[in-house]
Amino acid sequence: MTSVNAQGLAPWQDAARTTGERVESLLAELTLEEKVAQLGSVWFQTGETGNVAPLQDRFAVADGPEERLRYGLGHLTRVYGTAPVSPAEGAARLRALQEQVRSANRHGIPAIAHEECLTGFATYGATAYPTPLAWAATFDPGLIERMAEAIGADLRAAGVHQGLSPVLDVVRDYRWGRVEETLGEDPYLAGQLGAAYVRGLESAGIIATLKHFAGYAASRLGRNQAPVSIGPRELADVILPPFETALREGGARSVMNAYIDLDGVPVGANPHLLRRLLREEWGFDGTVVADYWSIPFLASMHGVAEDLAAAGALAMLAGIDVELPETHGYGGHLVAHVRAGRVEEALVDDSVRRVLRQKIELGLLDTDRLVPPTADDLDLDSPRNRDLAATVAERSIVLLGNTGAVLPLDAATTSTIAVIGPCADDPRTLLGCYAFPNHVLDRYPGHGTGLPIPSVRERLAAEFPSAELPYALGADVAGDDASGIGPAAELAARADLALLFVGDRAGLFGGGTSGEGCDAADLRLPGLQPDLVEAVLATGTPTVLVVVSGRPYALGAYKDRVAAAVQAFFPGVEGGTALAGVLSGRVNPSGRLPVQIPASPAINPSTYLQPPLGRRTEGITVLDPTPAYAFGHGLSYSRIEYLALATGPARCPTDGEIEARVTVRNAGDRPAEEVVQLYASDPVAQVARPALQLIGFARVPLEPWQTRTVAFDVPADAFSYTGVELRRIVEPGTITLAAGPSADEPPLRAVIRLTGEIRELRGARRLTTTTRLLAD
């Protein structure tokens, strides 16, 4: 019989005890069925047609809530995010479901409620922030941490406990549909921005979930969920570092497995990744949650399990703690496996410990008010949110080129500005695929967008009240209707200037040109948009090409023919205002490319992280992968000069630290923010290394004609890599440091020498180059 204290509380109910004591006390009380129930989930869906998760319609559960909640529950899936509900309706539903969960199990243990939060709280009427690729374009971890803290505060105020974000997949092929969800193609940048997002979410009391562990973005041909054939060195040096950084320096408490098979082994059945690497080597003690349906997929898609029951056993043995979004492979199947001796109960106990610890940390066992009363009146699109969304959007927009010096626009000398293209007057083209209007509301056409989203055209009219702004669609984002191209070209021909807005409309599983399941065959602009661009350029009217997209499209054919070019990666609900501000000059652009902009749509896409033979090689091949615009590129309306790179000491031990000081000057009459980037190259190593790789960056505010110096404290660990014996090492030898505004031939260079013996890195390592702005 359970002992109770003077207040009548069992040890697991006593908040004065340690979390570990409470976990062990409660675990000892649970039957096997009750333990396994803590590893399952329920998704009470609406019955509407259309999927927001892959093959969702194939996994409908017929059982009623009584049977599904009989022994308890680990997670409630997307109570707010499945259908358009107001905060009050969502809160009432969550309260009712939590009460059902508590009353159905004899210990009254509530469930963890999780939601998507990739571009903000994915629910009706909540602020849709810029997509993660836009976060990466800011190169501003502090801003992203503040944004994530605001997202987390909204989630927590609604009674939500876990957010399924951030995505830390490193882009390997721009054709992949989910590029928009990533933090770009560089592992250091992705790790820094990802850790910042995690810190913000976790500071608000929300469990951050790193996904998709690991290798998802490296699928063959850029196809969603296709097999991944990378080697162990690419996995270790490119794919894994952002996850390690977000765990060690961000403090994420959950990880979600990737759908893919890695060299033939599905990640959901891979104990090497989920147990040995994640837990034993990295020391992760949080939960591993299954990506939606990935446990059933072990049987139905990967063919490594005979049926659902076998899939559940494989997943538990591999290291998945919680099955999402519904219980199919765990539940009764897992109970039977334990009783038959096929799965050790100790493994189940370890997973349950992790789940119970999180429930105690979240305070779920210490309150009857699981959903705060204030949830009924939440403003999920508050002025605070809008301000943050606007700031992220403004700092993410990239000025690619301005050869015609037409930007910023001068309405006084440009009386007629033709506004053309499918992304000019469609608010949804500003949003990513996980923004609620694109993610869910396409199934509910009567609900509109759920919140105000001014289009670019609307904001241009406000920005230039005295200018004539005639508009033409030209061509839709996708489709084969060319009837509008001729009239759009005629409109451009009569104007002083043409603003041409092209790009993507995000959706899911073929419902858009970017997003989950919306992979591209090549990197041409979708649909008839290339024909529209050519028709407008043929008029001879100076044209500003503005690409609003979820992936980089090949712009080599237009680079030298447009007067200016701008790239915006789904800039969110305030994206129209931000774009208008950049075009007018009210905002001095400071975004930088987190992915290259390719020159050719047909050459096999490759990122900037290439050894010499992965770059242009005259006399070896006629195929030139040189991009139209390099990683890190971005201009402003000021001219920034790179004056000096000073390093010290010149010789550094393999366990030491180098200081690199970069001095820049604003040689213009506008305030600006320059993203100073520090790269390293290892010209002689055990294996072929990238010609250069980002190891540090800093946003530097500069007043007109101001000179400033930023110091980078670079640990020798930043030069580590996976050697021929597949061990991470720092080896003695020459390292070249380069500083500049992009990865395209940084103008400042310095050589240092690492000294001493080859050093093998085991366990924790220094993952971040710290920066300091020095006094003027």
pLDDT computed for residue 59 by the predictor:
67
Taken in order 481, 486, 487, 492, the sign of the CA dihedral is positive
Over the Cα atoms of the chain, what is R_g?
27
pLDDT of residue 664: 98
The pLDDT value recorded for residue 622 is: 82
Could you list the beta-strand ranges (E) of 486-536.
497-503
Q: Which amino acid type is present at position 431?
A: L
pTM of the model: 0.96
Weakly modelled stretches of the chain, pLDDT under 70: 1-2, 4, 6-8, 46-52, 55-65, 604-605
- What pLDDT, on the 0 to 100 scale, is given for residue 275? 97
Pairwise CA distance, residues 486 & 472, whole Å: 10
Q: What is the tens place of the pLDDT at every residue in 130-189?
A: 999 999 999 999 999 999 999 999 999 999 999 999 999 999 999 999 999 999 999 999
Please confirm whether the linkage preceding 649 is cis (ω < 30° from 0): yes
**512 burial level (CB within 10 Å; 0-12, 13-18, 19+):** buried
Please tell me the predicted confidence (pLDDT) of residue 67.
Answer: 79
φ, ψ at 680 (rounded to 5°): -135, 150
Could you tell me how far CA 21 lies from the centroid of its own chain? 37
Gap between the Cα atoms of 431 and 258, Å rounded: 24
* Residue 554 CB partners (closer than 8 Å, separation 6+): 522, 523, 524, 597, 598, 599, 600, 601, 628
